[in-house]
A and B are shown apart, each in its own frame.
Chain A
Amino acid sequence: MLKKSKPDDFHLIKLIAQSRNDAINELYERYNRLVFSVAFAIVGDQSVAEEITLDVFVQVWQRAASYRPELAKVSTWLIAITRHHAIDILRWQRSRPEANSVNWEDIALQDGPLIHNLEEQIEGTLKKEQVRKAVAQLPEEQRQALALAYFKGYTQSQISAALKQPLGTIKTRIRLAMQKLRKLLDED
């Protein structure tokens, strides 16, 4: 069993690499909503998003030993795996129900714990709010390009075709959006 003082994410991954069931259980408790939310935002289907969530945690179970903390935080690693998996599925499906299409305007702060620990929950909620505010400060055309890249997995060429804008314009929008987010998130 895990000690009462909860291990940090990296420690959890090390325990998972030792096939500790309680560690994968704890990691799931911490991140299942985040992983599922990202998967659902991309594929727009509850059951497919749940399968992706399962696959992500199974992959973590199988590949925990290959995690390299110097390259990414655990949460960043999880999100990277989730996005790649979900976008891969989306590309195979080649279409996505428009009823479930996501844009940044859908974003609304919701209640309900993302993280168990109260202190972490407050911190997590503040961080979510900070990210949402930062996204909201982007010009509309940058938000639109960013949403297509992030939630639909479109390449810049595909965004260019979808929005009927020159490729160079799309490249600039993506670059400026990410640079501004970096500045805004660094400031707060």
Chain B
Amino acid sequence: MIEDQHVLESLPAYALGSLDESEAQVIAGHLAGCHICRSELLTFQEIAGQLALASPQAVPSYDLKPRLMERIQSLEPNRPKPERWRFAGRRLAVGAIAGLVLIVTLAVSNLLLWNRLNQLEVLSGPLGMRAIALQNTDAAPNSSGFVVMGADGNNGVLVVDELPALDTQYEYQLWLVRNGNNTSAAVFSVDESGYRGMRIEAPETLLAYSSVRVTIEPTGGSAHPTGESVLIGSLFNP
């Protein structure tokens, strides 16, 4: 079993990202449970990082920094605001937002515990709010996750727990699936316990999609799913 053997010889190529996908996934699986190989990998990743210094030096245009700052400034205002918040507008205090986040967080924490006890797939709450339990796969057999969404699907939150920590070459990516097409909705990593909660940034209502999946992708995310799925779930109304 590969889990029982160290993979030291493959780590230099893994650090360069030059292993074939299937081999890389095997190594990633081993790394998840082997601190010796993880430590060795960090050294080779550092070497790979230093190789950048040997790249022929090139200089970007002078206007690149203003373009960056402009893009960053445009990020916040362009985020779509949910319809039902619009009327509350400017009067919605920071404390109220924090309170809402706390309520959702507590609710989701309870739902995660509830799920472990009852294995329910969909929970319905007041005002049509739904919590959809995601199914884990063999790639992350201990993980769990929920998508919590409002009745109109305009707002949604993803909460995951006990997902394996990934090395710096990989992150998790959330996909919204419709007619076989995948739309990226988030790229994220998890904390030491495998936990992460975040708002789902969907281009349209979540009700427009049939399912969600979380895959392992190269750092920064992919244009299309390329890695193994760790969590999947159906968004269809029961």
- Taking a contact as CB atoms under 8 Å apart, the answer to whether A182 and B44 are in contact is yes
| Alpha-carbon distance A63/B196, docked complex (angstroms) | 13
| Alpha-carbon distance A75/B171, docked complex (angstroms) | 18
How far is the CB of A42 from the nearest CB of chain B, in Å? 9
Q: Tell me the chain B residues, 1-38 only, with Cβ under 8 Å from chain A.
A: 9, 12-13, 15-21
| Alpha-carbon distance A107/B171, docked complex (angstroms) | 32
B207 within 8 A of A: no
Q: Which 7 A-B pairs have the closest CB atoms?
A: A178-B12, A76-B49, A149-B18, A36-B60, A40-B58, A84-B218, A41-B55
19 new A-B pairs (CB below 8 Å) besides A37-B56, A112-B57, A156-B13?
A: A25-B69, A37-B55, A38-B55, A40-B58, A50-B60, A50-B61, A54-B68, A57-B68, A66-B189, A68-B168, A72-B49, A80-B168, A131-B51, A149-B13, A153-B18, A156-B20, A157-B20, A178-B48, A185-B50
Q: How big is chain A's contact interface, by range?
A: 35 or more
CB-defined contacts of A149 to chain B, threshold 8 Å: 13, 16-18
Q: Tell me the chain A residues, 33-86 only, with Cβ under 8 Å from chain B.
A: 33-34, 36-38, 40-41, 46, 49-50, 53-59, 61-63, 66, 68, 71-73, 75-77, 79-85
CB-defined contacts of A75 to chain B, threshold 8 Å: 49, 52
| Alpha-carbon distance A182/B50, docked complex (angstroms) | 10
A154 within 8 A of B: yes
B208 within 8 A of A: no
Q: How big is chain B's contact interface, by range?
A: 35 or more
How far is the CB of B108 from the nearest CB of chain A, in Å? 19
Given A63-B187, A84-B218, A85-B220, A102 and B18 touching (CB < 8 A)?
Answer: no
1/0 contact string of A171-188 vs chain B (CB within 8 Å): 100110111011001000
1/0 contact string of B37-71 vs chain A (CB within 8 Å): 00000111111111111111111110011011101
Given A80-B219, A88-B223, A150 and B48 touching (CB < 8 A)?
Answer: yes
- Taking a contact as CB atoms under 8 Å apart, the answer to whether A87 and B17 are in contact is yes
CB-defined contacts of B56 to chain A, threshold 8 Å: 37, 40-41, 102, 106-108
- Taking a contact as CB atoms under 8 Å apart, the answer to whether B64 and A128 are in contact is no
Q: Tell me the chain B residues, 176-230 only, with Cβ under 8 Å from chain A.
A: 187-189, 218-220, 222-223
CB-defined contacts of A110 to chain B, threshold 8 Å: 57
CB-defined contacts of B127 to chain A, threshold 8 Å: none
Given A76-B168, A149-B13, A150-B51, A88 and B218 touching (CB < 8 A)?
Answer: yes
- Taking a contact as CB atoms under 8 Å apart, the answer to whether A61 and B20 are in contact is no
CB-defined contacts of B59 to chain A, threshold 8 Å: 33, 36, 112
Q: Tell me the chain B residues, 64-114 only, with Cβ under 8 Å from chain A.
A: 64-65, 67-69, 71-72, 75
How far is the CB of A161 from the nearest CB of chain B, in Å? 12
